[in-house]
Structure 1
Amino acid sequence: MADFLARLDATARRIETPCGEGRMAWRLWGDADAPPLVLLHGGSGSWRHWARNIGPLSRDRLVVCPDLPGLGDSAMPPPAETPAPVAAILLAGLADLLPGRSYDLCGFSFGALLAGHLAAQADGRLRSVTLVGAGALGLPRQIAPLKKVRSETGEARLAAHRHNLATLMFADAGRIDAPALEIQEANTMAARFRSRGFASTTSLKDAIARARAPVALLYGERDAIAFPEIERRFAALREVQPEAWTGLVPGAGHWVAYEAAESFNAILTDMLARRFAPA
Protein backbone atom coordinates (compact mmCIF):
# COMPACT_ATOMS: atom_id res chain seq x y z
CA MET A 1 0.00 0.00 0.00
CA ALA A 2 1.30 3.47 -0.87
CA ASP A 3 2.72 5.40 2.07
CA PHE A 4 0.00 8.03 1.97
CA LEU A 5 -2.71 5.35 2.03
CA ALA A 6 -1.08 3.67 5.01
CA ARG A 7 -0.82 6.99 6.83
CA LEU A 8 -4.42 7.82 6.02
CA ASP A 9 -5.59 4.46 7.34
CA ALA A 10 -3.49 4.88 10.47
CA THR A 11 -5.11 8.23 11.30
CA ALA A 12 -8.66 6.88 11.03
CA ARG A 13 -10.85 6.02 14.00
CA ARG A 14 -12.21 2.56 13.20
CA ILE A 15 -15.63 1.42 14.43
CA GLU A 16 -17.55 -1.77 13.62
CA THR A 17 -21.30 -2.36 13.44
CA PRO A 18 -23.35 -5.50 12.68
CA CYS A 19 -23.50 -6.77 9.08
CA GLY A 20 -25.04 -10.11 8.20
CA GLU A 21 -23.24 -12.77 10.24
CA GLY A 22 -20.25 -10.51 10.81
CA ARG A 23 -19.23 -6.88 11.16
CA MET A 24 -19.12 -3.79 8.98
CA ALA A 25 -15.98 -1.62 9.13
CA TRP A 26 -16.28 2.17 9.34
CA ARG A 27 -13.44 4.71 9.33
CA LEU A 28 -13.83 8.27 10.61
CA TRP A 29 -11.57 11.30 10.15
CA GLY A 30 -11.81 14.88 11.41
CA ASP A 31 -13.27 16.65 14.42
CA ALA A 32 -15.84 14.44 16.12
CA ASP A 33 -18.05 17.52 16.66
CA ALA A 34 -17.91 18.73 13.04
CA PRO A 35 -20.92 18.22 10.72
CA PRO A 36 -20.79 14.60 9.49
CA LEU A 37 -20.29 13.81 5.81
CA VAL A 38 -20.82 10.14 4.94
CA LEU A 39 -19.00 8.85 1.83
CA LEU A 40 -20.09 5.58 0.18
CA HIS A 41 -17.56 4.06 -2.24
CA GLY A 42 -18.18 2.31 -5.54
CA GLY A 43 -18.67 -1.31 -6.54
CA SER A 44 -15.76 -3.73 -6.00
CA GLY A 45 -14.21 -0.92 -3.95
CA SER A 46 -13.49 0.19 -0.41
CA TRP A 47 -12.96 3.37 1.59
CA ARG A 48 -9.84 3.86 -0.55
CA HIS A 49 -11.98 5.20 -3.41
CA TRP A 50 -12.04 8.43 -1.37
CA ALA A 51 -8.28 8.52 -0.68
CA ARG A 52 -7.77 11.94 -2.31
CA ASN A 53 -10.87 13.47 -0.72
CA ILE A 54 -10.69 12.45 2.93
CA GLY A 55 -7.90 14.83 3.93
CA PRO A 56 -9.31 18.01 2.37
CA LEU A 57 -12.92 17.28 3.33
CA SER A 58 -12.06 16.36 6.92
CA ARG A 59 -10.68 19.85 7.59
CA ASP A 60 -14.23 21.07 8.14
CA ARG A 61 -16.27 17.87 8.34
CA LEU A 62 -16.38 14.63 10.27
CA VAL A 63 -15.77 12.30 7.32
CA VAL A 64 -17.37 8.86 7.74
CA CYS A 65 -16.35 6.12 5.28
CA PRO A 66 -17.63 2.56 5.53
CA ASP A 67 -16.44 -0.43 3.63
CA LEU A 68 -19.77 -1.42 2.10
CA PRO A 69 -21.13 -4.89 2.92
CA GLY A 70 -19.23 -7.64 1.15
CA LEU A 71 -16.41 -5.27 0.18
CA GLY A 72 -13.16 -4.17 1.81
CA ASP A 73 -13.04 -5.24 5.45
CA SER A 74 -16.82 -5.70 5.83
CA ALA A 75 -18.72 -8.98 6.04
CA MET A 76 -21.20 -10.09 3.40
CA PRO A 77 -24.80 -8.95 3.82
CA PRO A 78 -27.66 -11.47 3.89
CA PRO A 79 -28.90 -12.45 0.41
CA ALA A 80 -31.17 -9.74 -1.03
CA GLU A 81 -33.11 -9.23 -4.27
CA THR A 82 -32.68 -5.44 -4.19
CA PRO A 83 -30.22 -2.94 -2.66
CA ALA A 84 -32.81 -1.83 -0.07
CA PRO A 85 -31.83 -4.36 2.66
CA VAL A 86 -28.16 -3.49 2.20
CA ALA A 87 -29.03 0.20 2.60
CA ALA A 88 -30.91 -0.70 5.78
CA ILE A 89 -27.69 -2.17 7.22
CA LEU A 90 -25.96 1.13 6.49
CA LEU A 91 -28.77 3.13 8.05
CA ALA A 92 -28.64 1.04 11.22
CA GLY A 93 -24.87 1.48 11.36
CA LEU A 94 -25.19 5.25 11.04
CA ALA A 95 -27.72 5.27 13.88
CA ASP A 96 -25.07 3.61 16.05
CA LEU A 97 -22.23 5.87 14.89
CA LEU A 98 -24.11 9.18 14.82
CA PRO A 99 -26.95 8.84 17.35
CA GLY A 100 -29.43 11.67 16.94
CA ARG A 101 -27.13 13.65 14.60
CA SER A 102 -27.86 15.10 11.18
CA TYR A 103 -25.52 14.23 8.33
CA ASP A 104 -24.89 14.72 4.61
CA LEU A 105 -24.50 11.72 2.33
CA CYS A 106 -22.43 11.29 -0.84
CA GLY A 107 -22.28 8.04 -2.80
CA PHE A 108 -20.18 7.05 -5.82
CA SER A 109 -21.41 4.58 -8.47
CA PHE A 110 -22.74 1.55 -6.52
CA GLY A 111 -22.44 3.77 -3.45
CA ALA A 112 -24.78 6.23 -5.19
CA LEU A 113 -27.33 3.45 -5.63
CA LEU A 114 -27.11 2.59 -1.94
CA ALA A 115 -27.26 6.31 -1.05
CA GLY A 116 -30.54 6.57 -2.94
CA HIS A 117 -32.01 3.58 -1.13
CA LEU A 118 -30.73 4.90 2.19
CA ALA A 119 -32.32 8.29 1.43
CA ALA A 120 -35.65 6.56 0.74
CA GLN A 121 -35.56 5.03 4.22
CA ALA A 122 -33.97 7.89 6.17
CA ASP A 123 -35.68 10.32 8.50
CA GLY A 124 -35.15 14.08 8.76
CA ARG A 125 -31.59 13.68 10.05
CA LEU A 126 -30.43 13.17 6.46
CA ARG A 127 -29.76 16.74 5.28
CA SER A 128 -28.71 16.05 1.70
CA VAL A 129 -27.77 13.27 -0.68
CA THR A 130 -25.21 13.68 -3.47
CA LEU A 131 -25.00 11.02 -6.18
CA VAL A 132 -21.72 10.70 -8.11
CA GLY A 133 -21.33 8.67 -11.31
CA ALA A 134 -24.72 7.08 -10.76
CA GLY A 135 -26.32 4.30 -12.78
CA ALA A 136 -29.71 2.58 -12.26
CA LEU A 137 -31.67 5.60 -13.51
CA GLY A 138 -33.50 3.58 -16.15
CA LEU A 139 -31.07 4.23 -19.00
CA PRO A 140 -28.76 1.70 -20.67
CA ARG A 141 -25.29 1.55 -19.18
CA GLN A 142 -22.45 2.03 -21.64
CA ILE A 143 -20.42 -1.15 -22.09
CA ALA A 144 -16.85 -0.96 -20.78
CA PRO A 145 -15.01 -4.23 -21.65
CA LEU A 146 -12.78 -5.14 -18.71
CA LYS A 147 -9.98 -7.67 -18.41
CA LYS A 148 -10.02 -10.55 -15.95
CA VAL A 149 -7.47 -9.96 -13.21
CA ARG A 150 -7.72 -12.75 -10.65
CA SER A 151 -5.75 -15.32 -12.69
CA GLU A 152 -2.96 -12.88 -13.62
CA THR A 153 0.29 -12.22 -11.77
CA GLY A 154 3.19 -9.80 -11.94
CA GLU A 155 3.35 -7.37 -14.84
CA ALA A 156 0.35 -8.96 -16.57
CA ARG A 157 -1.80 -8.31 -13.52
CA LEU A 158 -0.59 -4.71 -13.30
CA ALA A 159 -1.32 -4.23 -17.00
CA ALA A 160 -4.84 -5.61 -16.55
CA HIS A 161 -5.49 -3.19 -13.69
CA ARG A 162 -4.20 -0.30 -15.80
CA HIS A 163 -6.42 -1.35 -18.72
CA ASN A 164 -9.50 -1.56 -16.50
CA LEU A 165 -8.84 1.82 -14.90
CA ALA A 166 -8.32 3.42 -18.32
CA THR A 167 -11.43 1.78 -19.73
CA LEU A 168 -13.89 2.41 -16.90
CA MET A 169 -12.55 4.77 -14.28
CA PHE A 170 -10.33 7.46 -15.86
CA ALA A 171 -10.87 9.80 -18.79
CA ASP A 172 -7.12 10.39 -19.13
CA ALA A 173 -5.00 7.25 -18.76
CA GLY A 174 -2.01 9.48 -18.09
CA ARG A 175 -3.49 10.28 -14.68
CA ILE A 176 -3.36 6.65 -13.54
CA ASP A 177 -0.67 6.77 -10.88
CA ALA A 178 0.90 4.18 -8.58
CA PRO A 179 -1.57 4.77 -5.71
CA ALA A 180 -4.51 4.28 -8.09
CA LEU A 181 -3.09 0.93 -9.16
CA GLU A 182 -2.47 -0.08 -5.55
CA ILE A 183 -6.02 0.92 -4.61
CA GLN A 184 -7.36 -1.13 -7.51
CA GLU A 185 -5.35 -4.17 -6.41
CA ALA A 186 -6.41 -3.90 -2.76
CA ASN A 187 -10.05 -3.43 -3.70
CA THR A 188 -10.04 -6.33 -6.16
CA MET A 189 -8.50 -8.70 -3.61
CA ALA A 190 -11.20 -7.94 -1.02
CA ALA A 191 -14.28 -7.69 -3.27
CA ARG A 192 -16.89 -10.42 -2.81
CA PHE A 193 -20.24 -8.64 -3.33
CA ARG A 194 -21.19 -8.26 -7.02
CA SER A 195 -23.18 -5.11 -7.81
CA ARG A 196 -22.99 -4.62 -11.59
CA GLY A 197 -26.36 -6.28 -12.23
CA PHE A 198 -28.17 -3.30 -10.74
CA ALA A 199 -26.66 -0.67 -13.05
CA SER A 200 -29.14 -0.87 -15.95
CA THR A 201 -32.27 -1.00 -13.79
CA THR A 202 -34.49 1.82 -12.46
CA SER A 203 -33.55 0.94 -8.88
CA LEU A 204 -31.93 4.28 -8.01
CA LYS A 205 -34.58 6.34 -9.77
CA ASP A 206 -37.37 4.51 -7.96
CA ALA A 207 -35.67 4.87 -4.58
CA ILE A 208 -34.55 8.49 -4.87
CA ALA A 209 -38.10 9.49 -5.80
CA ARG A 210 -38.96 8.83 -2.14
CA ALA A 211 -36.11 10.91 -0.73
CA ARG A 212 -37.16 13.90 1.36
CA ALA A 213 -33.69 15.44 1.55
CA PRO A 214 -32.30 17.71 -1.22
CA VAL A 215 -30.68 15.70 -4.03
CA ALA A 216 -27.69 16.44 -6.26
CA LEU A 217 -26.16 14.45 -9.13
CA LEU A 218 -22.55 14.85 -10.33
CA TYR A 219 -20.63 13.21 -13.18
CA GLY A 220 -17.20 13.50 -14.64
CA GLU A 221 -17.68 15.00 -18.08
CA ARG A 222 -16.31 11.82 -19.72
CA ASP A 223 -17.81 9.23 -17.36
CA ALA A 224 -17.57 5.91 -19.22
CA ILE A 225 -20.90 4.59 -17.92
CA ALA A 226 -22.87 7.71 -18.93
CA PHE A 227 -21.09 9.53 -21.78
CA PRO A 228 -22.36 10.82 -24.21
CA GLU A 229 -25.86 10.82 -22.67
CA ILE A 230 -25.25 12.50 -19.32
CA GLU A 231 -27.99 15.07 -19.94
CA ARG A 232 -30.49 12.21 -20.28
CA ARG A 233 -29.48 11.06 -16.82
CA PHE A 234 -29.98 14.53 -15.40
CA ALA A 235 -33.43 14.59 -17.03
CA ALA A 236 -34.28 11.15 -15.60
CA LEU A 237 -33.42 12.35 -12.10
CA ARG A 238 -35.49 15.51 -12.50
CA GLU A 239 -38.52 13.40 -13.43
CA VAL A 240 -38.64 12.27 -9.81
CA GLN A 241 -36.71 15.11 -8.09
CA PRO A 242 -37.52 18.29 -10.07
CA GLU A 243 -35.44 20.53 -7.78
CA ALA A 244 -32.31 18.38 -7.99
CA TRP A 245 -28.99 20.14 -8.52
CA THR A 246 -26.77 18.72 -11.27
CA GLY A 247 -23.16 19.30 -12.22
CA LEU A 248 -20.24 18.17 -14.39
CA VAL A 249 -16.53 18.04 -13.60
CA PRO A 250 -14.69 18.92 -16.84
CA GLY A 251 -12.30 16.39 -18.35
CA ALA A 252 -12.85 13.71 -15.71
CA GLY A 253 -14.04 10.13 -15.93
CA HIS A 254 -16.13 7.83 -13.76
CA TRP A 255 -13.79 7.91 -10.72
CA VAL A 256 -14.04 11.69 -10.74
CA ALA A 257 -13.33 12.05 -7.02
CA TYR A 258 -9.83 10.64 -7.60
CA GLU A 259 -8.97 11.75 -11.13
CA ALA A 260 -10.07 15.36 -10.57
CA ALA A 261 -9.89 15.41 -6.78
CA GLU A 262 -9.20 19.13 -6.37
CA SER A 263 -12.15 20.12 -8.58
CA PHE A 264 -14.43 17.51 -7.04
CA ASN A 265 -13.59 18.54 -3.48
CA ALA A 266 -14.21 22.20 -4.31
CA ILE A 267 -17.52 21.51 -6.03
CA LEU A 268 -18.82 19.27 -3.26
CA THR A 269 -17.68 21.63 -0.50
CA ASP A 270 -19.18 24.68 -2.21
CA MET A 271 -22.43 22.89 -2.97
CA LEU A 272 -22.86 21.73 0.61
CA ALA A 273 -21.96 25.16 1.97
CA ARG A 274 -24.44 27.00 -0.27
CA ARG A 275 -27.34 24.59 -0.49
CA PHE A 276 -27.11 22.39 2.56
CA ALA A 277 -25.59 24.60 5.24
CA PRO A 278 -25.81 23.10 8.74
CA ALA A 279 -28.75 24.36 10.77
Structure 2
Amino acid sequence: MGSRWTRNTGTMIDALHRQLSRAAITTQGDECALNHIDLGDGPPLLLIHGGHGGWYHWMKNIEALAAHSRVIAPDLPGFGASTAPKSGFTLHLAASELFALLDRLGIDTVDVAAFSFGACIAAQMAVRFPHRVRSLAVVNPAGMGPVSARLSDTQNEAARVAKAHGLEQGVRISLEEIMLCDSRLVTEDLCRLTADHVRATRVQTRPIARTHPTRALLDSVRAPMWLALGSQDPHQRHELDLRARYVESISAGNTSSMCHAAHWLQFEAAPWFNDNLANFIDRVRGTPRPPRSIDTGFQT
Protein backbone atom coordinates (compact mmCIF):
# COMPACT_ATOMS: atom_id res chain seq x y z
CA MET A 1 0.00 0.00 0.00
CA GLY A 2 2.73 2.49 1.00
CA SER A 3 4.86 1.77 -2.08
CA ARG A 4 1.91 2.18 -4.44
CA TRP A 5 0.93 5.44 -2.72
CA THR A 6 4.48 6.79 -3.10
CA ARG A 7 4.69 5.71 -6.74
CA ASN A 8 1.32 7.32 -7.56
CA THR A 9 2.30 10.53 -5.78
CA GLY A 10 5.48 10.72 -7.82
CA THR A 11 3.57 10.12 -11.04
CA MET A 12 1.10 12.88 -10.16
CA ILE A 13 3.92 15.34 -9.45
CA ASP A 14 5.60 14.52 -12.75
CA ALA A 15 2.32 14.94 -14.64
CA LEU A 16 1.52 18.22 -12.87
CA HIS A 17 4.94 19.65 -13.66
CA ARG A 18 4.65 18.65 -17.33
CA GLN A 19 1.18 20.19 -17.55
CA LEU A 20 2.29 23.51 -16.05
CA SER A 21 5.47 23.52 -18.16
CA ARG A 22 3.32 23.64 -21.28
CA ALA A 23 1.93 26.97 -20.08
CA ALA A 24 5.36 28.53 -19.45
CA ILE A 25 6.59 31.26 -21.79
CA THR A 26 9.78 33.33 -22.01
CA THR A 27 10.04 37.09 -22.47
CA GLN A 28 13.25 39.05 -23.02
CA GLY A 29 14.36 41.89 -20.76
CA ASP A 30 17.42 44.12 -20.78
CA GLU A 31 19.45 41.91 -18.45
CA CYS A 32 17.99 38.46 -19.01
CA ALA A 33 15.15 36.40 -20.44
CA LEU A 34 12.61 35.29 -17.84
CA ASN A 35 10.72 32.02 -18.12
CA HIS A 36 7.36 32.36 -16.40
CA ILE A 37 3.81 31.09 -16.04
CA ASP A 38 0.89 33.50 -16.48
CA LEU A 39 -2.45 31.89 -15.59
CA GLY A 40 -5.85 33.04 -14.41
CA ASP A 41 -7.85 36.24 -14.34
CA GLY A 42 -8.40 38.91 -11.74
CA PRO A 43 -5.96 41.04 -9.74
CA PRO A 44 -2.35 39.92 -10.31
CA LEU A 45 -0.42 37.79 -7.83
CA LEU A 46 3.35 37.39 -8.21
CA LEU A 47 4.90 34.17 -6.81
CA ILE A 48 8.66 34.30 -6.10
CA HIS A 49 10.42 30.97 -5.56
CA GLY A 50 13.27 30.03 -3.25
CA GLY A 51 16.93 29.14 -3.67
CA HIS A 52 17.95 26.37 -6.10
CA GLY A 53 14.38 26.58 -7.33
CA GLY A 54 12.04 27.82 -10.01
CA TRP A 55 8.32 28.30 -10.46
CA TYR A 56 8.05 24.57 -9.69
CA HIS A 57 8.25 25.54 -6.00
CA TRP A 58 4.62 26.66 -6.50
CA MET A 59 3.38 23.80 -8.67
CA LYS A 60 0.77 22.67 -6.11
CA ASN A 61 -0.49 26.22 -5.67
CA ILE A 62 -0.62 27.89 -9.09
CA GLU A 63 -3.87 26.42 -10.40
CA ALA A 64 -5.73 26.85 -7.10
CA LEU A 65 -4.64 30.47 -6.75
CA ALA A 66 -5.41 31.17 -10.42
CA ALA A 67 -9.08 30.55 -9.64
CA HIS A 68 -9.32 34.13 -8.31
CA SER A 69 -6.04 35.82 -9.30
CA ARG A 70 -3.89 36.29 -12.34
CA VAL A 71 -0.89 34.28 -11.20
CA ILE A 72 2.57 35.26 -12.47
CA ALA A 73 5.21 32.68 -11.46
CA PRO A 74 8.69 33.26 -12.93
CA ASP A 75 12.01 31.51 -12.74
CA LEU A 76 14.26 34.18 -11.22
CA PRO A 77 17.27 35.48 -13.19
CA GLY A 78 19.90 32.73 -13.20
CA PHE A 79 17.44 30.03 -12.09
CA GLY A 80 15.54 27.33 -13.93
CA ALA A 81 14.91 28.16 -17.57
CA SER A 82 15.60 31.90 -17.18
CA THR A 83 18.95 33.18 -18.39
CA ALA A 84 21.62 34.59 -16.10
CA PRO A 85 21.73 38.39 -15.85
CA LYS A 86 24.45 40.00 -17.93
CA SER A 87 25.85 42.10 -15.08
CA GLY A 88 25.59 39.47 -12.34
CA PHE A 89 22.96 38.66 -9.75
CA THR A 90 22.01 41.01 -6.92
CA LEU A 91 18.78 41.44 -4.98
CA HIS A 92 18.42 44.89 -6.53
CA LEU A 93 18.79 43.50 -10.05
CA ALA A 94 16.37 40.64 -9.41
CA ALA A 95 13.75 43.07 -8.12
CA SER A 96 14.29 45.31 -11.15
CA GLU A 97 13.90 42.39 -13.56
CA LEU A 98 10.66 41.31 -11.90
CA PHE A 99 9.26 44.83 -12.14
CA ALA A 100 10.34 44.90 -15.80
CA LEU A 101 8.49 41.61 -16.38
CA LEU A 102 5.37 43.07 -14.78
CA ASP A 103 5.72 46.11 -17.05
CA ARG A 104 5.93 43.88 -20.13
CA LEU A 105 2.75 42.15 -18.96
CA GLY A 106 0.95 45.46 -18.42
CA ILE A 107 0.77 45.03 -14.63
CA ASP A 108 1.20 47.99 -12.28
CA THR A 109 0.15 46.96 -8.75
CA VAL A 110 0.60 43.40 -7.56
CA ASP A 111 0.18 41.17 -4.53
CA VAL A 112 3.38 39.22 -3.83
CA ALA A 113 3.97 35.85 -2.19
CA ALA A 114 7.57 34.78 -1.68
CA PHE A 115 9.18 31.58 -0.43
CA SER A 116 12.51 31.24 1.39
CA PHE A 117 15.23 33.14 -0.53
CA GLY A 118 12.49 34.76 -2.59
CA ALA A 119 11.50 36.76 0.49
CA CYS A 120 14.77 38.71 0.21
CA ILE A 121 13.76 39.84 -3.29
CA ALA A 122 10.10 40.45 -2.43
CA ALA A 123 11.08 42.68 0.50
CA GLN A 124 13.42 44.58 -1.81
CA MET A 125 10.52 45.14 -4.22
CA ALA A 126 8.16 46.33 -1.48
CA VAL A 127 10.71 48.82 -0.12
CA ARG A 128 11.84 50.23 -3.48
CA PHE A 129 8.39 50.73 -5.01
CA PRO A 130 5.82 50.56 -2.21
CA HIS A 131 3.05 51.90 -4.46
CA ARG A 132 3.38 48.79 -6.67
CA VAL A 133 3.26 46.10 -3.95
CA ARG A 134 -0.24 45.93 -2.46
CA SER A 135 0.48 43.06 -0.05
CA LEU A 136 3.34 40.76 0.87
CA ALA A 137 3.10 37.14 2.01
CA VAL A 138 6.35 35.51 3.09
CA VAL A 139 6.65 31.75 3.50
CA ASN A 140 9.45 30.45 5.75
CA PRO A 141 11.64 33.41 4.75
CA ALA A 142 15.40 33.21 4.46
CA GLY A 143 17.62 36.09 5.51
CA MET A 144 15.92 36.58 8.88
CA GLY A 145 18.85 35.90 11.17
CA PRO A 146 21.35 33.24 12.22
CA VAL A 147 20.53 29.68 11.22
CA SER A 148 20.55 26.77 13.63
CA ALA A 149 23.49 24.40 14.05
CA ARG A 150 21.23 21.53 13.01
CA LEU A 151 20.41 23.19 9.70
CA SER A 152 24.08 23.86 8.94
CA ASP A 153 25.00 20.27 9.78
CA THR A 154 22.25 18.89 7.53
CA GLN A 155 23.22 21.15 4.64
CA ASN A 156 26.85 20.08 4.97
CA GLU A 157 25.86 16.40 5.07
CA ALA A 158 23.69 16.80 1.97
CA ALA A 159 26.60 18.43 0.13
CA ARG A 160 28.96 15.65 1.20
CA VAL A 161 26.57 12.92 0.02
CA ALA A 162 25.94 14.71 -3.26
CA LYS A 163 29.67 14.85 -3.94
CA ALA A 164 30.27 11.23 -2.95
CA HIS A 165 27.14 9.52 -4.29
CA GLY A 166 25.50 11.86 -6.80
CA LEU A 167 23.35 14.94 -6.66
CA GLU A 168 20.04 13.08 -6.41
CA GLN A 169 21.18 11.39 -3.19
CA GLY A 170 22.23 14.71 -1.68
CA VAL A 171 18.93 16.25 -2.74
CA ARG A 172 17.04 13.40 -1.08
CA ILE A 173 18.67 14.25 2.27
CA SER A 174 17.72 17.91 1.85
CA LEU A 175 14.13 17.01 0.95
CA GLU A 176 13.73 14.57 3.85
CA GLU A 177 15.54 16.56 6.54
CA ILE A 178 14.86 20.20 5.60
CA MET A 179 12.22 20.68 2.94
CA LEU A 180 9.51 18.16 3.91
CA CYS A 181 8.59 16.33 7.11
CA ASP A 182 6.27 13.81 5.42
CA SER A 183 8.77 11.37 3.92
CA ARG A 184 6.07 9.85 1.70
CA LEU A 185 6.25 12.98 -0.45
CA VAL A 186 9.93 12.40 -1.26
CA THR A 187 9.57 10.40 -4.46
CA GLU A 188 12.08 9.60 -7.18
CA ASP A 189 10.28 12.05 -9.47
CA LEU A 190 10.56 14.84 -6.92
CA CYS A 191 14.25 14.11 -6.27
CA ARG A 192 14.93 14.20 -10.00
CA LEU A 193 12.99 17.42 -10.53
CA THR A 194 14.71 19.11 -7.61
CA ALA A 195 18.16 17.94 -8.72
CA ASP A 196 17.51 19.30 -12.22
CA HIS A 197 16.82 22.73 -10.74
CA VAL A 198 19.90 22.59 -8.52
CA ARG A 199 21.97 21.91 -11.65
CA ALA A 200 20.28 24.80 -13.45
CA THR A 201 20.98 27.32 -10.67
CA ARG A 202 23.74 29.81 -11.50
CA VAL A 203 23.37 31.93 -8.34
CA GLN A 204 24.92 31.39 -4.92
CA THR A 205 22.02 32.28 -2.64
CA ARG A 206 23.32 31.18 0.74
CA PRO A 207 26.01 33.89 1.10
CA ILE A 208 23.37 36.53 0.30
CA ALA A 209 20.77 35.15 2.71
CA ARG A 210 23.26 34.93 5.56
CA THR A 211 23.78 38.69 5.53
CA HIS A 212 20.18 38.78 6.86
CA PRO A 213 18.80 41.14 4.18
CA THR A 214 15.16 40.18 4.66
CA ARG A 215 14.98 41.21 8.30
CA ALA A 216 16.65 44.54 7.54
CA LEU A 217 14.28 45.25 4.65
CA LEU A 218 11.04 44.18 6.35
CA ASP A 219 11.42 47.01 8.87
CA SER A 220 10.64 49.42 6.02
CA VAL A 221 7.79 47.48 4.36
CA ARG A 222 4.50 49.30 4.72
CA ALA A 223 2.33 46.88 2.74
CA PRO A 224 0.20 44.49 4.81
CA MET A 225 2.17 41.31 5.51
CA TRP A 226 1.30 37.71 6.27
CA LEU A 227 4.03 35.40 7.58
CA ALA A 228 3.51 31.65 7.09
CA LEU A 229 5.76 29.46 9.22
CA GLY A 230 6.30 25.71 9.26
CA SER A 231 6.60 24.44 12.81
CA GLN A 232 9.01 21.72 11.60
CA ASP A 233 11.19 23.96 9.42
CA PRO A 234 14.86 23.83 10.51
CA HIS A 235 15.27 27.36 9.11
CA GLN A 236 12.67 28.75 11.51
CA ARG A 237 11.84 26.55 14.46
CA HIS A 238 14.73 27.64 16.68
CA GLU A 239 12.94 31.02 16.96
CA LEU A 240 9.42 30.57 15.61
CA ASP A 241 7.69 32.84 18.12
CA LEU A 242 10.36 35.54 17.83
CA ARG A 243 9.95 35.77 14.06
CA ALA A 244 6.17 35.79 14.24
CA ARG A 245 6.16 38.56 16.87
CA TYR A 246 8.73 40.54 14.89
CA VAL A 247 6.66 40.65 11.69
CA GLU A 248 3.50 41.45 13.65
CA SER A 249 5.28 44.28 15.49
CA ILE A 250 6.14 46.14 12.26
CA SER A 251 2.50 47.05 11.67
CA ALA A 252 -0.79 46.43 13.44
CA GLY A 253 -2.20 45.00 10.20
CA ASN A 254 0.41 42.25 9.89
CA THR A 255 -0.46 38.66 10.78
CA SER A 256 1.29 35.31 11.07
CA SER A 257 0.17 31.70 10.90
CA MET A 258 1.79 28.37 11.63
CA CYS A 259 1.11 24.84 10.44
CA HIS A 260 2.68 21.41 10.79
CA ALA A 261 5.08 21.48 7.85
CA ALA A 262 8.78 21.79 7.15
CA HIS A 263 10.49 24.36 4.91
CA TRP A 264 8.55 23.76 1.66
CA LEU A 265 5.30 24.58 3.41
CA GLN A 266 3.26 25.53 0.35
CA PHE A 267 3.97 22.11 -1.17
CA GLU A 268 3.55 19.98 1.94
CA ALA A 269 0.44 21.77 3.24
CA ALA A 270 -0.90 23.02 -0.10
CA PRO A 271 -4.67 23.18 0.72
CA TRP A 272 -3.99 24.99 4.00
CA PHE A 273 -1.60 27.40 2.32
CA ASN A 274 -3.75 28.09 -0.74
CA ASP A 275 -6.80 28.87 1.39
CA ASN A 276 -4.97 31.06 3.89
CA LEU A 277 -3.10 33.00 1.22
CA ALA A 278 -6.33 33.57 -0.71
CA ASN A 279 -8.07 34.80 2.45
CA PHE A 280 -5.19 37.17 3.26
CA ILE A 281 -5.16 38.63 -0.25
CA ASP A 282 -8.94 38.97 -0.31
CA ARG A 283 -8.87 40.90 2.97
CA VAL A 284 -6.29 43.28 1.52
CA ARG A 285 -8.33 43.67 -1.66
CA GLY A 286 -11.46 44.30 0.38
CA THR A 287 -13.29 41.17 -0.74
CA PRO A 288 -13.24 38.88 2.32
CA ARG A 289 -14.41 35.30 1.98
CA PRO A 290 -15.99 33.16 4.72
CA PRO A 291 -13.27 31.19 6.55
CA ARG A 292 -12.89 27.48 5.93
CA SER A 293 -11.65 24.80 8.28
CA ILE A 294 -8.48 23.28 6.79
CA ASP A 295 -6.50 20.42 8.31
CA THR A 296 -3.02 21.71 9.12
CA GLY A 297 -1.49 18.25 9.16
CA PHE A 298 0.21 16.52 6.27
CA GLN A 299 -1.27 17.33 2.88
CA THR A 300 -0.75 15.36 -0.34
TM range (shorter): 0.7 to 0.9
What are the residue-to-residue correspondences of 1:83-122 with 2, within 5 Å?
83-100=91-108, 102-122=109-129
Mapping of 1:52-131 within 5 angstroms?
A: 52-77=60-85, 78-79=87-88, 83-100=91-108, 102-131=109-138
Change (3 A) 1:263 1:121: same
C-alpha displacement at 1:205, in angstroms?
2.1
Shift of 1:181: 1.8
Aligned AA for 2:214? L
Match of 1:273 in 2: 282
What amino acid sits opposite 2:176 in the alignment?
Answer: A
* Equivalent-residue separation in structure 2 for 1:98 and 1:14 (angstroms): 16
1:152–1:223 distance in 2 versus 1, CA, 3 Å: same
Question: Who is 1:255 aligned against?
Answer: 264
Query: Pairwise CA RMSD of aligned residues?
Result: 2.3
Contact 2:51-2:116 at 8 Å conserved across structures: yes
The residue number in structure 1 matching 2:140 is: 133
Cα distance in 1, alignment partners of residues 104 and 62 from structure 2: 21
- Please give the alpha-carbon distance, in whole angstroms, between the structure 1 residues aligned to 2:197 and 2:24: 20
Q: Residues 122-148 of structure 1, C-alpha deviation per residue, up to 9 Å, x if partnerless?
A: 2423210111111222x2112242323
Determine if contact 1:19/1:69 at 8 Å carries over to the other structure: no
8 Å contact from structure 2 (residues 52, 198) kept in 1: yes
Instruction: Indicate which of 192, 198, 208 corresponds to 1:182.
Output: 192
Q: Give yes or no for contact 2:124–2:217 (8 Å, CA) kept in 1.
A: yes
Alignment correspondent of 1:38: 46
Please tell me whether the aligned partners of residues 126 and 213 of structure 1 are also in contact (alpha carbons under 8 angstroms).
Answer: yes
Quick one: distance in 1 between partners of 2:189 and 2:275?
Answer: 22
Deviation larger for 176-185 or 258-267: 176-185
Q: In structure 1, how many angstroms separate the alpha carbons of the residues matched to 2:130 and 2:103?
A: 11
Secondary structure in 1 aligned to 2:131? coil
- Provide the identity percentage: 28
Q: What SS does the aligned partner of 1:180 have? A: helix
Q: 1:29 to 1:99 in 2, by over 3 A?
A: closer
Is residue 209–residue 241 contact of structure 1 (8 Å, CA) maintained in 2?
no
Q: Which has the higher contact order (CA 8 A, sep 6+)?
A: 1
**Separation of aligned partners in 2, 1:52 and 1:46:** 13
Kept in 1, the 8 Å contact 2:95–2:122? The answer is yes
The counterpart of 2:204, out of the listed 185, 194, 199, is 194
Kept in 1, the 8 Å contact 2:26–2:33? The answer is no
Question: What are structure 2's unaligned runs of at least 5 residues?
Answer: 1-12, 289-300
What displacement does 1:237 show? 2.6
Gaps of 5+ in 1: none
**Matched letter for residue 276 of structure 1:** R
User: 1:169 — aligned with what?
Assistant: 179
Deviations 1:14-50 (A, max 9, x none): 1413153x3122221123xx11111000001011111
Amino acid at match of 1:14: I
> Cα 1:207–1:193, aligned 2, differ >3 Å: closer, same or farther?
same
Task: Tell me the SS of whatever aligns to 1:76.
Answer: coil
Could you tell me how far apart the structure 2 residues matched to 1:189 and 1:200 are?
22
Counterpart-to-counterpart distance in 2, 1:46 and 1:132: 15
Q: Which amino acid aligns with 2:16?
A: F
Partner of 1:28: 38
**C-alpha offsets along residues 49-90 of structure 1, whole Å, 9 cap, x if unaligned?**
11111111111211101101110111223235x522321221
Residue of structure 2 equivalent to 1:223: 233
Question: In structure 2, what is the Cα distance between the partners aligned to 1:19 and 1:75?
Answer: 11
